Amino acid sequence: MAGLFSKKKASCALCKKEITHTHKPKRSWKVEGSLCADCYLDLLEKNFEDDPEDRCAVCSAEPGSFNLWRPKKGWGVKGFLCKSCFEEREREDDDLRNSCCQCGSSTGIFPRRAKEEWGMKGFLCRQCWKNAQSRQP
């Protein structure tokens, strides 16, 4: 019975070449079946621009989509981050979190992140957050 399976040969969905090593196309490529290495690389290159989800939005590293992290709300980052960029942001965040970016006083137990439209980076103490919010139209 085992022989039955080994006889089955795969062929590339694009060039129809017989392939021993199949490459799975990415879902976004809308290709049915398997690809040979040539066609796979070809498509990979062509789709590179259209696939920002596979790249770190900060350093453009391509650690693979399983190693990309979704940025936290408020970081103002579109797309995904590689682990090191994510950790760097998080560290930065921790530093900022401790003191108010406006008056420098302690932000207390519940730091409030400045809203993006306020044009401030970091966190605010309760009083400054209130002030900033009341300045909004």
Minimum distance between the CB of residue 125 and Zn ion, rounded to whole angstroms? Answer: 3
**Which residue type is seen at 133?**
Q
- For residues 99 and 56, what is the distance between their CA atoms, to the nearest angstrom? 29
Nearer to Zn ion, 104 or 137 (CB): 104
Residue 35 is classified by DSSP as: B
Minimum distance between the CB of residue 113 and Zn ion, rounded to whole angstroms? Answer: 13
SS (HEC) of 48-90:
CCCCHHHCECCCCCCCCHHHEECCCCCCCCCCEEEHHHHHHHH
Residues found near Zn ion in the complex (CB under 5 A): 12, 14-15, 36, 39, 56, 58-59, 61, 82, 85, 100, 102-103, 125, 128
Minimum distance between the CB of residue 28 and Zn ion, rounded to whole angstroms? Answer: 18
Nearer to Zn ion, 1 or 59 (CB): 59
The position carrying tokens 């519940």 is 110
